[in-house]
């Protein structure tokens, strides 16, 4: 079991560029989510998915898109990067929406937008 | 607006000391409160609390929730350098959303 994997680990983008952060889990979890972590602000939920084909917005969705075509993968797309999106991004998964204690986080992607 | 506030923001202690970390919350639809430990990378789960007054314990760590006063504490006794980390408190506000506090950075000196 690899758990939750994220690629890349580090990325530098110029303002206006787009990119996709990859997230995959091999635990057959229904629920997956993306968070960003900024200094002094804790983790904030960007988007989440309760199953393949179903996604919804979290607390800070603007500037990001997601899709969930398979149970395993949940990519996060930055449409037009802005310096305000400089952050550490964590993908997380859990078996169902009702088991927050079984939430596993990926190792994170550190994104810098210049 | 849902809010989770942790205090102190940072703490430096020496090995063997006992520490208490605080988490207070104001949310509209409380379901559970969770504590995580974050070392260099991803947060790892410590405790989940749903009922007031019931202490959860794991080794030298323990936690309790007070739903009347809207807070939780995380205690670590006989601290070790390996306890150095950021401790995050999160409140599950519905089935799909968790609101995190900013974290408490604990440094344990030898």
User: Could you read off the pLDDT of B39-87 as tens digits, one per residue?
Assistant: 988 899 999 999 999 999 999 999 999 999 999 999 999 999 999 999 9
CA dist., res. A22 & res. A109, Å (int): 9
> Cβ B96–A56 below 8 Å, yes or no?
yes
Best of B32, B49, B92, B100 to disrupt the A interface by mutation (most A CBs within 10 Å)? B100
Cβ(A63)–Cβ(A89) below 8 Å = no
What's phi and psi for A84, nearest 5 deg? -65, -10
Distance of CA A47 to the CA centre of its chain: 7
Task: Tell me which chain B residues have a C-beta less than 8 angstroms from the C-beta of A58.
Answer: 96-97
Question: Is A10 an interface residue toward B (CB < 8 Å)?
Answer: no
Reported as a single tens digit per residue, the pLDDT across A20-54 is 999 999 999 999 999 999 987 889 999 999 999 99
CA dist., res. B36 & res. A86, Å (int): 23
Best of B34, B41, B50, B96 to disrupt the A interface by mutation (most A CBs within 10 Å)? B96
């Amino acid at each position: 079991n690899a758990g939750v994997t994220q690629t890349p680990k580090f990325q530098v983008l110029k303002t206006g560029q787009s990119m996709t952060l990859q997230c995959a889990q091999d635990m057959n979890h229904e629920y997956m989510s993306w968070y960003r972590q900024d200094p002094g602000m804790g983790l904030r939920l960007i988007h989440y998915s309760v199953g393949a084909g179903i996604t919804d917005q979290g607390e800070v969705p603007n500037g990001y898109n997601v899709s969930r075509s398979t149970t395993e993968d949940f990519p996060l797309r930055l449409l037009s990067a802005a310096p305000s999106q400089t952050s550490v991004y964590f993908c997380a998964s859990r078996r169902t929406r009702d088991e927050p204690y079984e939430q596993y986080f990926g190792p994170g992607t550190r994104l810098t937008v210049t | 607006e849902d809010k989770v506030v942790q205090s102190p923001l940072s703490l430096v202690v020496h090995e063997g000391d006992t520490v208490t970390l605080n988490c207070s919350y104001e949310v509209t639809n409380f379901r559970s409160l969770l504590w995580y430990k974050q070392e260099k990378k991803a947060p790892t789960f410590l405790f989940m609390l749903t009922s007031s007054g019931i202490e959860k314990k794991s080794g030298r760590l323990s936690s309790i929730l007070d739903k009347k006063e809207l807070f939780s504490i995380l205690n670590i006794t006989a601290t070790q350098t390996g306890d150095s980390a950021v401790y995050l408190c999160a409140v599950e506000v519905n089935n799909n959303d968790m609101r995190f506090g900013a974290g408490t950075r604990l440094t344990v000196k030898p």
